C-alpha cells in the first residue's frame, strides 16, 4: 500500500489490511505450536458486553489457533455458558470492584502483571489486552504477533490529531516532553510476548502509583502511562487504527 505509512522511523512494521499474506503467516505460526492469551475486564455494567465480545472474538481472533481468553469480572455468576471453538479456552477470574471507573481502569495493569507472574507465563507465549466493549467484525490473525505491539489510536486520524492527547504536566510520571512522541497509542488493544507485557504493565502501574502518591491523575489514566512507556520502549510492531476504530471519535 502506498496510501499509508507502513514503517516507523525505527523500522517497525505498521500493519494495515493489504500489507501481509495471512496464509504464509499462518503456516509459520502453526509450526511454532504457540498459545496466545487475551485478557479482558467486565466490571460493573460492562458485563453487558461479554456475550458480544466473546462470541465475536471466538470467531475472529486468531481463528484456528490456540487462544486462552482470561475474563476478569466482579460478577462471575452472571457468565452464561459460552460455546467456544475447540482450540479456544475461557477462564473466568473473579476480580474486585471499585467505586470509581478510573480506579477500575488503573488497577488493570497491576492485575495483569500479577497474573502473568503467577499464572499466564506458564500458559501462553503471547498476551494481548483488549477492551470488552468491542466487537470484532473481521479476522484478526497472526499478523499481530510480535515482541511488543501497540495499536495506533483512531484519535490520531481525526480532527483531534494535533493535540495527540498526551499527558504534558511534568509532575505526572506519564508526562511526555513537548515536541516528543511518535504515535498516540490506545490502551484498548496492546500486547506482545508475555515477558514484554509483564515489563510494560509493571512499569505503567508503578507510574500510576507514584502519581497517586503525589496527588495527580494522568489525563487518560493508564493510557497516558502506556504512551509514556512506548515512547521509550519502542514497539516492534504497530497495528493500524483499523484494528481498533473508536466510532465516537
Report the distance separating Cα 90 and Cα 67, nearest Å.
9
Q: Is 103 annotated as a binding residue?
A: no
Q: Are 197 and 112 in contact (CB under 8 A)?
A: yes
What are the backbone dihedrals phi and psi of residue 27, each rounded to the nearest 5 degrees, phi first?
A: -65, -40
Report the distance separating Cα 34 and Cα 68, nearest Å.
11
Q: How many CA atoms lie within 13 A of 29 on its CB side?
A: 23
Report the distance separating Cα 44 and Cα 50, nearest Å.
12
Catalytic residue of the set 143, 167, 196, 223: 223
What would the mean pLDDT of 52-81 be, rounded to a whole number?
Answer: 92
Q: Are 201 and 193 in contact (CB under 8 A)?
A: no
What are the backbone dihedrals phi and psi of residue 88, each rounded to the nearest 5 degrees, phi first?
A: -105, 150
Q: Is 6 annotated as a binding residue?
A: no
Express each pLDDT in 13-36 by its tens digit. 999 998 999 999 999 999 999 999
Q: Is 131 annotated as a binding residue?
A: yes
Residue 89 has a CB neighbour count (10 Å cut-off) of 15
Q: Is 208 annotated as a binding residue?
A: no
Percentage, residues of the chain above pLDDT 90: 71
Q: Are 183 and 175 in contact (CB under 8 A)?
A: no
**Where in the chain are the domains?**
14-243
User: Model pTM?
Assistant: 0.93
Mean pLDDT of the chain: 90
Q: What is the pLDDT of residue 45?
A: 85
| CA distances for 102 relative to 79, 220, 234, angstroms | 24, 9, 26
User: Is 60 exceeded by the pLDDT of residue 209?
Assistant: yes
Q: Which CATH number fits domain 14-243: 3.40.50.2000, 2.60.40.1180, 3.90.550.10, 3.30.420.40?
A: 3.90.550.10
Report the distance separating Cα 229 and Cα 200, nearest Å.
7
Report the distance separating Cα 183 and Cα 121, nearest Å.
29
Q: Is 112 annotated as a binding residue?
A: no
Angle (CA) 69-74-79 rounded to 5° is 55
Q: Is 27 annotated as a binding residue?
A: no
User: Active site includes 223?
Assistant: yes
Question: Could you tell me how many residues make up the chain?
Answer: 249
Amino acid at each position: 500500500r502506498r496510501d499509508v505509512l507502513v514503517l516507523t522511523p525505527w523500522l517497525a512494521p505498521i500493519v494495515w489490511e493489504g500489507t501481509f499474506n495471512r496464509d504464509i503467516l499462518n503456516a509459520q505460526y502453526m509450526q511454532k505450536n504457540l498459545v496466545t492469551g487475551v485478557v479482558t475486564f467486565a466490571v460493573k455494567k460492562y458485563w453487558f458486553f461479554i456475550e458480544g465480545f466473546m462470541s465475536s472474538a471466538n470467531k475472529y481472533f486468531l481463528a484456528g489457533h490456540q487462544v486462552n481468553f482470561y475474563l476478569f469480572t466482579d460478577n462471575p455468576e452472571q457468565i452464561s455458558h459460552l460455546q467456544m471453538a475447540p482450540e479456544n479456552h475461557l477462564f473466568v477470574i473473579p476480580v474486585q470492584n471499585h467505586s470509581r471507573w478510573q480506579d477500575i481502569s488503573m488497577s488493570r495493569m497491576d492485575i495483569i502483571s500479577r497474573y502473568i507472574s503467577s499464572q499466564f507465563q506458564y500458559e501462553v507465549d503471547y498476551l494481548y489486552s483488549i477492551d470488552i466493549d468491542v466487537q470484532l467484525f473481521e479476522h484478526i490473525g497472526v499478523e499481530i504477533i510480535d515482541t511488543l505491539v501497540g495499536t495506533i489510536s483512531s484519535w490520531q486520524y481525526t480532527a483531534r490529531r494535533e493535540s495527540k492527547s498526551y499527558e504534558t504536566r511534568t509532575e505526572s510520571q506519564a508526562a511526555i516532553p513537548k515536541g516528543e512522541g511518535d504515535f498516540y497509542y490506545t490502551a484498548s488493544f496492546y500486547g506482545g510476548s508475555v515477558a514484554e507485557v509483564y515489563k510494560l504493565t509493571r512499569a505503567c502501574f508503578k507510574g500510576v502509583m507514584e502519581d497517586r502518591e503525589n496527588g495527580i491523575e494522568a489525563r487518560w489514566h493508564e493510557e497516558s502511562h502506556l504512551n509514556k512507556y512506548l515512547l521509550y520502549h519502542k514497539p516492534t510492531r504497530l497495528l493500524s487504527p483499523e484494528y481498533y476504530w473508536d466510532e465516537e471519535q
